[in-house]
Structure 1
Amino acid sequence: MGTVLDTAIDLLRGRRIAVLTGAGISTDSGIPDYRGEGAPRRTPMVFDTFLSSEDARRRYWAGSHLGWRSFASVHPNDGHRALAHMEEAGLITGIATQNVDDLHERAGSANVTHVHGRLHTVSCLRCGRTFDRHRIADEIERLNPWIAMPEQVRLQPDGDVEIDASQEFEVPSCPVCGGMLKPDVVFFGETVPPQVFAEARDIIAAGDAVLVAGSSLVVNSGTRLLEVARRADVPIVIVNRGETRWDARSAVRVEGGTSETLSAIADALIAPF
């Protein structure tokens, strides 16, 4: 009798696979999960608070800057690389990710839609122009020459960290119009842009099977995407450490880490048999 992993591989073999990833795929790169074992308690930034409170913007930008510098130093893991190899082999329709890091792209994946946005660009809420994060980071360090990476930083999944000196922090403004800048991530209280959700939905709809990797499927955007597959009667395979909200609706759930499990799936599906 085969294992649960064997069952998952047999179900995926010969199908075009749509992929949905969550924070759990990046934990082996050193970015913590929101809800996994040992995840820190935290209060994420709310969009209305960001807009209305200068103090909140100072706290957010100070922590986000340090967190982004940490994000830039992490590397893709075997789970990211396994999906990139599967895409190269023509096995997957693309990746819809709930993560704001760029580890899928750095591993070699080309067709990636970031449902919750990306940390690596910043936009002006007044004029709409978008800037590379490196440019804004350089300006932050010019305005705040005292800022430095603390020796002990607890990185958050959205790229934020907690620091004590945020009241001294000078927030950068738009280099073009002087307006309010915001990283291109979806804050709590914001909605996923319709075009972005449509791109993710198309990835899922193009699959004959859906592979979920490293998501507890608590966030509404993920469940909305899986509803597309459920309505089409497409089988769903979940790889995650711990239970998810869609276990009962999946064809199979593999309990385990994404690095080793996705590597095993890729090896089995790509290798001749």
Structure 2
Amino acid sequence: MARAPLLRVPYTDPFPSPRIIPANATTTNGAVAALVDFLAPSLFPTTTSTVPRSSLASKLDRHHRGNGKTLLLTGAGISVASGLADYRGTKGTYTLNKGYKPVYYHEFCESHEARKRYWARSFLGWTSLERARANKAHEACGELGRMGVVGGVVTQNVDSFHPTTHPHLPTTELHGYLRSLVCLTCRSEYPRSTFQSQLSALNPSWSAFLAEMLQSGALDTENPIERARRGLKANPDGDVDVPDAPYTTFRYPACPVCLEKGAVRANGKTVRVRVDSDGAWDPSSEGGVLKPAVILFGESIPLASKVQAEKAVEEADRLLVIGSSLATYSAWRLVKKAKELGMPLGVLNIGGVRGEEVFFGEEGGEGDGGKRAVRLSVSAEEVLPRVVEVFGGGLGEGGEWREGGGVGGIGGEVRCGHICIYAVQCEHVQHG
């Protein structure tokens, strides 16, 4: 039985405004220069503006050959430019929807009614979420990886944008991913897109309602302000709340593997899985429940993912946080670990961040021009592509991933014309 969490969702209130480091990085140009200096400090003893772009690329290659690299830790803020909602931004869920309460892990595992509500709301939000695509900030991360500046990514996001945009760059999906489901009994994974089709077949009235909303354009955006005008509440990860909707009527299928081969728990015990005449999961069942392959609130991060993220920090020479307020402890502890290792720290996030006084206390790293610390409150999509340009690179060049899977799956077409399917190693994303 899943244990109830002891704490509520943490840090729903805004954090204090940040202290910009260096102090002159309040403009876009200043932010770009500061970030370049932070990412490759030994290349630029004075300023980046007078160094030819071709010379930067040559120096960059020599500088990073055999050296440590920057680790990126990303959060929901990097995907806002893709049209996805975040939690604590100016238009975030906790800012505009004070009554928002996500489903907890123990609720999902133990309550049939909680699952009906969750899957009904997910059913309505999945189409627009599946259509979303990575933005220039994700592409810039990939290009910085190709150039040798960035050595890896740890992301809190579940939208799959990082592995689809830069399959060559090692990525740890700390909180899982929405593209798949996982069975709570047999641990088999199942495609979310296939599950959506089954939900549609099991719930024809809901399917018709979804079609009407899509036709009217009500789901064309995840902007919570726009959706509120249309009578909807938009929350992160494809959660659409329709006031007074009959959630109790919603049905969802059982795990197909458990139905076909029998439901066997990890301890070897066989349990009963039943479905109705249409194939919907029956509440008399003892197992066969499919859960999104993400870490729900109150759920522990798998040990393998935790260890992989910690190893990525230990092997890096500096850490840059992008689009995260670090409100979740799983992310905050990684930055704390980097700080304890004496690692240079950078934060690129609009608005405040949890525990900034811990990371940027005392002199705040300003004594060396921001080479050991940088704190910026600007758009990642605006700044990161320009950083790539300063380093002599560019987006949409060099065989980078440009089209293909988004939230719904991994895969797409590379500029060379070959089809490339990128698969995340299973041992790094186990849930339980």
Place the TM-score, normalised by the shorter chain, in its bin.
Answer: over 0.9
- What does residue 72 of structure 2 align with? 19
- What does residue 106 of structure 1 align with? 164
**Quick one: which amino acid aligns to residue 28 of structure 1?**
A
**Quick one: which amino acid aligns to residue 37 of structure 2?**
D
Question: What secondary structure is seen at the aligned counterpart in 1 of 2:335?
Answer: helix
**Quick one: which amino acid aligns to residue 80 of structure 1?**
H
Q: What TM-score, normalized to structure 2?
A: 0.60
1:174 aligns with 2:255: yes
- What does residue 187 of structure 1 align with? 296
1:146 aligns with 2:205: yes
For 1:66 and 1:95, the matched residues in 2 are separated by 30
Q: Sort the Cα spacing of 1:165 and 1:70 in 2 relative to 1 into closer, same or farther, 3 A.
A: farther
For 1:138 and 1:271, the matched residues in 2 are separated by 41
1:258 aligns with 2:380: yes
**Quick one: which amino acid aligns to residue 39 of structure 2?**
L
Is the 1:123–1:184 Cα contact (8 Å) retained in structure 2? yes
- What does residue 175 of structure 2 align with? 116
For 1:81 and 1:17, the matched residues in 2 are separated by 16
**Quick one: which amino acid aligns to residue 8 of structure 1?**
L
**Quick one: which amino acid aligns to residue 38 of structure 2?**
L
Question: What secondary structure is seen at the aligned counterpart in 1 of 2:257?
Answer: coil
**Quick one: which amino acid aligns to residue 309 of structure 2?**
A
Q: Any idea what the Cα deviations from partners look like across 1:123-147, whole Å, max 9, x if unmatched?
A: 1111111111122222212211233
For 1:83 and 1:265, the matched residues in 2 are separated by 10
- What does residue 352 of structure 2 align with? 243
- What does residue 32 of structure 1 align with? 85
Number of residue pairs aligned between Structure 1 and Structure 2: 272
Of 85-94 and 179-188, more deviation after overlay is shown by 85-94
- What does residue 131 of structure 2 align with? 73
- What does residue 428 of structure 2 align with? none
Is the 2:79–2:135 Cα contact (8 Å) retained in structure 1? yes
Is the 1:83–1:109 Cα contact (8 Å) retained in structure 2? no
| Residue of 310, 318, 336 corresponding to 1:209 | 318
Q: Sort the Cα spacing of 1:199 and 1:270 in 2 relative to 1 into closer, same or farther, 3 A.
A: farther
Question: What secondary structure is seen at the aligned counterpart in 2 of 1:118?
Answer: strand
- What does residue 84 of structure 1 align with? 142
- What does residue 239 of structure 2 align with? 160
Q: Sort the Cα spacing of 1:256 and 1:217 in 2 relative to 1 into closer, same or farther, 3 A.
A: same
For 1:17 and 1:183, the matched residues in 2 are separated by 31
For 2:121 and 2:312, the matched residues in 1 are separated by 33
For 1:79 and 1:214, the matched residues in 2 are separated by 10
User: Which structure 1 residue ranges, 5 or more long, are not aligned?
Assistant: none
- What does residue 112 of structure 2 align with? 54
For 2:392 and 2:328, the matched residues in 1 are separated by 31
The alignment yields a C-alpha RMSD, in angstroms, of 1.9
For 1:68 and 1:203, the matched residues in 2 are separated by 31
Aligned-pair identity in percent equals 34
Question: What secondary structure is seen at the aligned counterpart in 2 of 1:122?
Answer: strand
- What does residue 199 of structure 1 align with? 308
Is the 2:143–2:393 Cα contact (8 Å) retained in structure 1? no
Give the deviation of 1:115 after TM superposition: 0.8
Is the 2:159–2:178 Cα contact (8 Å) retained in structure 1? yes
Question: What secondary structure is seen at the aligned counterpart in 2 of 1:72?
Answer: helix
**Quick one: which amino acid aligns to residue 237 of structure 1?**
G
For 1:243 and 1:206, the matched residues in 2 are separated by 27
Give the deviation of 1:201 after TM superposition: 1.6
Is the 2:39–2:149 Cα contact (8 Å) retained in structure 1? no
- What does residue 33 of structure 2 align with? 6
Q: Any idea what the Cα deviations from partners look like across 1:169-195, whole Å, max 9, x if unmatched?
A: 102211121411101011111011110
For 1:39 and 1:4, the matched residues in 2 are separated by 24
Is the 1:45–1:187 Cα contact (8 Å) retained in structure 2? yes
- What does residue 219 of structure 1 align with? 328
Question: What secondary structure is seen at the aligned counterpart in 2 of 1:215?
Answer: coil
Is the 2:31–2:383 Cα contact (8 Å) retained in structure 1? no
Q: Sort the Cα spacing of 1:126 and 1:263 in 2 relative to 1 into closer, same or farther, 3 A.
A: same
Is the 1:216–1:243 Cα contact (8 Å) retained in structure 2? yes
Give the deviation of 1:80 after TM superposition: 0.6
User: Which structure 2 residue ranges, 5 or more long, are not aligned?
Assistant: 1-23, 41-62, 220-226, 228-233, 259-272, 274-287, 361-372, 395-432
Structure with max Cα Rg: 2
- What does residue 342 of structure 2 align with? 233
| Residue of 136, 146, 150 corresponding to 2:195 | 136
Question: What secondary structure is seen at the aligned counterpart in 2 of 1:184?
Answer: strand
